[in-house]
Structure 1
């Protein structure tokens, strides 16, 4: 992008893909796309709830993430193993110990939460609209190209 030049909206849509298509159309027609921004506006937080979080699920989730950490430690230790068998045993040891500590940490974290968040969810910020903004000196040309392209 070029500095902090003033920008104006040349297109507004509810779909990011449609905003991308507008920029692609401009690019195909030789427009200086470095003068363009796609900006999501009217943001809202959407949290998708996937299920209850009980002690068992907390232990399972903790074990899964702990296993990855343990596997990484096992790989690092296996680099210095003197035999293939020792390397495999170090990998397995890291995986199992990591999973065990992860499960304990998951259960402990769940217990410490005091039941304030007994569900599993994923949050994301979702724009309601996408504006295609163009630097002021290029606005007229962008509008012309977009109008001709439709």
Structure 2
């Protein structure tokens, strides 16, 4: 999913967008491509909105957790924190001291603490969650709404190659996939 960007001088959108549904797509990228096509054709896209419907929470399991994997992940995050802390400390160190030594020492200390905290937090789950996962909110359908000039928008989208709105069929001479 993509984050919305605030525009200068505009507040957040209040309420649901209004307009006529000019197209509906099965993926957000297809809906985004349709709005981009309208923009490329000079259509006033500030009157359009992409609305995801039939939202679902999807959790994809990425793997099994073991103490070894947890320790490795803790070490990796600890090293990054240690490198960052070491770089900050090296800013205040006298110039004759070994900057590399400070950063390496901080990275090793960070790795040790990262392993320790990761193993403790994993042990506290007591086997209730022995897998890693990624969560996402997904829509099963993305509607492109248009508040003004919906007929013109539909006509422009009919020329968009490679992306078909839901509920439309390919031309008869095109191979069905």
Place the TM-score, normalised by the shorter chain, in its bin: 0.7 to 0.9
Count of equivalent residues: 149
SS across alignment from 1:6: coil
TM-score, length basis structure 2:
0.74
State the 4+ residue runs in structure 1 displaced beyond 3 angstroms. Answer: 1-5, 147-150
Corresponding position: 1:52 with 2:52: no
**Structure 1 residue aligned with 2:137, among 125, 130, 135?**
125
SS across alignment from 2:98: helix
1:147: which partner in 2?
A: 158
TM-score, length basis structure 1:
0.86
Name the CA distance, whole Å, in 1 between partners of 2:90 and 2:83. 10
Q: Is the 8 A contact 2:70 2:118 kept in 1?
A: yes
Q: Is the 8 A contact 2:18 2:145 kept in 1?
A: no
**How far has the Cα of 1:34 moved from its partner?**
1.1
**How far has the Cα of 1:112 moved from its partner?**
0.7
RMSD of the TM alignment (CA)?
2.2
C-alpha distance after superposition, 1:72-126 (max 9, x if no partner): 1100001122236521111001100001001000000001111111111112222
Gaps of 5+ in 1: none
**How far has the Cα of 1:45 moved from its partner?**
2.1
